[in-house]
Structure 1
Amino acid sequence: MKHALTTSLLAVALLAAMPARAADNAADGTLVERGRYLATAGDCVACHTAPGGQAMAGGLALASPVGAIYSTNITPSKTHGIGNYTLQQFSDAVRHGKRADGANLFPAMPYTSYAKTSDEDVAALYAFFMQGVAPVDAAAPATALPFPFNLARPFLGVWNALFLDAAPYQADAAQSAEWNRGAYLAQGLAHCSTCHTPRNLFMAEDLKRSLGGSELGGWYAPNITPDANSGIGNWSAPDLVRYMSGQPVPGKGSAAGPMVEAIDHSLRHLTPADLQAIAVYIKSVPAVANAGARQPADSYGSQTDALATIRGVALPKEHDAMTGPQLYDAYCAACHQAQAQGSDDGSLPSLFHNASLGHADSNNLVQVMLHGVPRYGVDSVMPGFAHELSDAQITTLGNYLLASYGDPQAKVSEPQVARLRAPPNADATLVTLARVGLALGVIVVLALLAWLLRRRKA
């Protein structure tokens, strides 16, 4: 009887505990899913997944002016990932650029933006990475920068002291809840400024020109401030929401390059309310004017063609001698139509009133012609022609497109095409300047030491 009574009491205790455990499991699941959404907002998978590799296992070569920086394995692997990280160590890495072993992360990891993330959201991210990501027991390639940048990691603490604002986002009581939500996402996890803000001599964001446009990895991340000519002053909030959702915006254009990655991996998966909040915030930031911007980038060009110049004209024997209209007719007209008006349903954009052709920096136009517009999880919208067209042909076609449908003062050059055709490398000039500067510094120090020794002997 005593045994039966004990068994009964144990059963009652277990039954009583079941709702609490179920509630705990549900809470854990909710936290993991919240972390999954936040990791999507932060676009973690785009940088921490190599082409053809496993999700979050690292190994992607991130182009920088000082050389390729390889992303790390951030799966919960205990041998090669972050499986042994505590919540505090995870927070230090995400918001302060500090690894569990105390080493500094290179600022290619946008921890300067992620620093704005709240404690609660960091805890949710931690739950997702520890419980919602499959561990991958494989090492990512080690970053090997050219001298002297290979010695820079220990000195990044000084860089952080100068340029890292480690304070989490503080809501502005004078603004609406929607605006604050947009600011929190845009300044933090969405890290808009990482690409769209120019850098200073020390590769830190120039906060005086925040979101004013910058070149990154061979692409031009345009000015997204509300400036009427230099930025997106004539874009409405619904235009921005449509763009971030991955849809072409009639009369404005569509995304390409790294922005497509950000859209396909991150932005288009956010809730409509969050996209609207980001749009509201972006429309409110201080306008930044770029020198030389005469009119909005999406206002150039008109529907026209040059068919009369090629009708009845034989193609030259040397294909590099083909004219712009001939190249357009052969490679562009089938999709963008004879007068560059695009498809009737808007899925293939027109080339006039297209921001990609209206910037003074023509890198994006060249990149798209060479490498196309690959999409992630949706159908690609444009193939690349790097395997078919020579540098001379890309140059001729690019200048024809700019003269006919874009900013006629913008130009494409053959050296530019050759540079963008190959994977980006370290900026040779920057590396040389750093080496010369280091050598001069050593000479100055040695000269100072010699002078002090002479004085002591005297």
Structure 2
Amino acid sequence: MPRRIDKGKSRAYAFAGLMTLAFATVAQAEALDSGASAGKRLAVAADCVACHTAPGGKPFAGGYSLSSPMGTIYSTNITPSKTAGIGNYTAEQFARAVRDGVTPDGTHLYPAMPYTSYSKMTDSDIAELYDYFMHEVKPVDTPNQKTALDFPFSVRISMIGWNALFHSDKRFTPDPAKSAEVNRGDYLVNGLAHCDTCHTPRNLLMAADSSKPLAGGSLGSWYAPNITSDKVSGIGAWSSDEIVAYLRTGHVEGKAQAAGPMAEAVEHSLQYLGDADLKAIAAYLQQTTPIKTGEARARHEYGQASVDELTLRGGKPEDNPGWHIFSGTCANCHQPNGQGNKEFPSLFHNTATARTDNLIATIVYGVHREVDGVAIDMPGFGPDALFTDRLNDQQIADVSNYVLSRYGNAEGVVTAADVAQVREGGPKAPLAVLAKYTIPAIILVCVLIGLFAISRRRKGA
């Protein structure tokens, strides 16, 4: 696949609370030098710039659109602008917005803002973060774009009930039975860096399922995998050095490459964390309770090199359409046998070919991340592709099935309908499906009440 360095066309995906899918281009976080303030380091670790910067916009000026099944949610301006941002916030008001999702005027934020994780942040870290935004971030007077979800999600007051059920105001407390390193990792994974918001499955009301922490969750078109210590379903077979390398670069030879939302996390946040923090995250993940989620083999163990180039060349395209697409579109970069090279990864022993959803999303949207100033880029081949061959849903299904059969989990089968679903944002959240019946149900109830009242009147007459 020809390489295209075009970071501006990257697609980001995020998931937290009610929001299940987001497409956006975000400003790159500035590299942290030795003189960076504590507040700036915290903002980078929390990846604030990613969701609060619109495509082509000023850092932290808001306007980033989060496309969810509930409607489009727009991030707010968090620069110290006194007319459009948070310049008038007191330290206490800032803390309440970040940790409890409530603004000074009483507006309840949607959990697309991961306050359910930020709630664990310590008072001292909140104070440092407040100082950074008030004194180091440049004010931008860009007005906020209003979020207007359909009923019933438009009723923000409903968040009071949701928070009562699923939000805790308990701050992080170190576990005295565990090392300082593991406790630091816990604080990062489940608090400041909010890894848990993507990697924990969601319940019917789109809250984190606390019974399966870090066991994997849907991100719309993408899937954030199980990162517990289970050796098959999770990352228990990874070494500490491999976890650290993946967090810093998004690449571990023979195991995985970051794409989609994880690539964005690496690019804008994780690559800038210090060794101590990355090792702390690894230490914490390695001691988590292993959770099995049904995988037969570890995601990175599938596949082997193929000899199809020798045996299938010259055949009719209709006899093996997936291979013909692979040979003409993919083999140039990933090599005819799928083993890749120094620049492009192998397709076997690669977690991307272990799941159908992530494989489809990779083909449709491509891979885009920038690490240490170097762009790692694979173009997307979906209908919206700009500079590559556009593949239709059936063609993407064909090449996906070929890659799965030769290099990945051969039990996975992709249909054109599966591809269409990924392009449209992934499986519909049950809550969003149920919400479609809310207004009809209210109308039906009103009609029944009206008929009952009419009936009573006639009987009375």
> TM-score of the superposition, structure 1-length normalised?
0.85
SS of corresponding position for 1:130? helix
Output aligned runs, 1:32-43, within 5 Å: 33-43=37-47
**Partner Cα distance (2:210, 2:92) in 1:** 29
**Partner AA of 1:436 in structure 2:** Y
Answer whether contact 1:195 1:214 (CA < 8 A) is retained.
yes
**Partner AA of 2:254 in structure 1:** G
Which structure's relative contact order is higher, taking Cα pairs within 8 Å and 6+ residues apart? 2
User: Counterpart of 1:12?
Assistant: none
**Partner Cα distance (1:52, 1:225) in 2:** 36
**Partner Cα distance (1:85, 1:167) in 2:** 22
**Partner Cα distance (2:57, 2:66) in 1:** 15
User: Counterpart of 1:228?
Assistant: 231
Answer whether contact 1:322 1:393 (CA < 8 A) is retained.
no
User: Counterpart of 1:130?
Assistant: 134
**Partner Cα distance (2:48, 2:429) in 1:** 29
Q: Decide which moves more: 211-220 or 302-311.
A: 302-311
**Partner AA of 2:376 in structure 1:** S
Larger of the two Rg values belongs to structure: 1
Answer whether contact 1:66 1:426 (CA < 8 A) is retained.
no
Find out whether 1:171 has 2:174 as its counterpart.
yes
SS of corresponding position for 2:111? coil
User: Counterpart of 1:326?
Assistant: 324
Q: Decide which moves more: 300-309 or 76-85.
A: 300-309
Which of 204, 217, 225 is 2:220 aligned to?
Answer: 217
User: Counterpart of 1:75?
Assistant: 79
User: Counterpart of 1:303?
Assistant: 305
Answer whether contact 1:32 1:128 (CA < 8 A) is retained.
no
Answer whether contact 1:230 1:288 (CA < 8 A) is retained.
yes
**Partner AA of 1:47 in structure 2:** C
**Partner Cα distance (1:397, 1:227) in 2:** 31
SS of corresponding position for 2:218? strand
User: Counterpart of 1:368?
Assistant: 362
User: Counterpart of 1:196?
Assistant: 199
Find out whether 1:283 has 2:286 as its counterpart.
yes
User: Counterpart of 1:56?
Assistant: 60
Answer whether contact 1:67 1:426 (CA < 8 A) is retained.
no
Answer whether contact 1:65 1:425 (CA < 8 A) is retained.
no
Pick closer, same or farther for the CA change 1:408–1:222 going to 2, 3 Å.
same
- Structure 2: where are the runs of 5+ without partners? 1-33
Q: String of CA shifts for 1:68-95, please: whole Å, max 9, x gaps.
A: 2111111111111111111001000000
Output aligned runs, 1:368-387, within 5 Å: 368-376=362-370, 377-386=373-382, 387=385
**Partner AA of 2:358 in structure 1:** N
**Partner AA of 1:275 in structure 2:** L
Answer whether contact 2:233 2:291 (CA < 8 A) is retained.
yes
SS of corresponding position for 1:220? strand
User: Counterpart of 1:242?
Assistant: 245
Find out whether 1:265 has 2:268 as its counterpart.
yes
**Partner AA of 1:403 in structure 2:** S
Q: Decide which moves more: 30-39 or 165-174.
A: 30-39
Q: String of CA shifts for 1:213-258, please: whole Å, max 9, x gaps.
A: 1111311011111112211121111111000011421210211000
Pick closer, same or farther for the CA change 1:85–1:304 going to 2, 3 Å.
same
Pick closer, same or farther for the CA change 1:72–1:322 going to 2, 3 Å.
farther
**Partner AA of 2:377 in structure 1:** V
**Partner Cα distance (1:306, 1:185) in 2:** 45
Give 1 or 2: higher helix fraction: 1
User: Counterpart of 1:417?
Assistant: 419
Find out whether 1:336 has 2:339 as its counterpart.
no
What percent identity do the matched residue pairs reach? 47
**Partner AA of 2:334 in structure 1:** H
Answer whether contact 2:117 2:190 (CA < 8 A) is retained.
yes
Query: Shift in Å at residue 67 of structure 1?
Result: 2.1
User: Counterpart of 1:154?
Assistant: 157
User: Counterpart of 2:23?
Assistant: none
**Partner AA of 2:301 in structure 1:** S
Cα RMSD for the two superposed structures = 2.6
Q: String of CA shifts for 1:171-220, please: whole Å, max 9, x gaps.
A: 11111111111111111111011011111111110000111111113110
SS of corresponding position for 2:223? strand
User: Counterpart of 1:402?
Assistant: 404
**Partner Cα distance (2:406, 2:240) in 1:** 29
**Partner Cα distance (2:202, 2:430) in 1:** 16
**Partner Cα distance (2:290, 2:429) in 1:** 33
Query: Shift in Å at residue 312 of structure 1?
Result: 2.7
Query: Shift in Å at residue 436 of structure 1?
Result: 2.4
Answer whether contact 1:256 1:368 (CA < 8 A) is retained.
yes
Find out whether 1:355 has 2:351 as its counterpart.
yes
Q: String of CA shifts for 1:396-435, please: whole Å, max 9, x gaps.
A: 101100011111111222122223335x399486445224
Pick closer, same or farther for the CA change 1:425–1:257 going to 2, 3 Å.
closer
User: Counterpart of 1:9?
Assistant: none
Aligned residues: 416
Q: Decide which moves more: 303-312 or 432-441.
A: 432-441
Pick closer, same or farther for the CA change 1:426–1:61 going to 2, 3 Å.
farther
Query: Shift in Å at residue 136 of structure 1?
Result: 1.1
User: Counterpart of 1:7?
Assistant: none
Which of 114, 120, 123 is 1:119 aligned to?
Answer: 123
Query: Shift in Å at residue 309 of structure 1?
Result: 4.0
**Partner AA of 1:300 in structure 2:** Y
Answer whether contact 2:65 2:74 (CA < 8 A) is retained.
yes
Answer whether contact 2:216 2:223 (CA < 8 A) is retained.
yes
User: Counterpart of 2:184?
Assistant: 181
**Partner Cα distance (2:250, 2:262) in 1:** 12
SS of corresponding position for 1:380? strand
User: Counterpart of 1:22?
Assistant: none
Q: Decide which moves more: 388-397 or 164-173.
A: 388-397
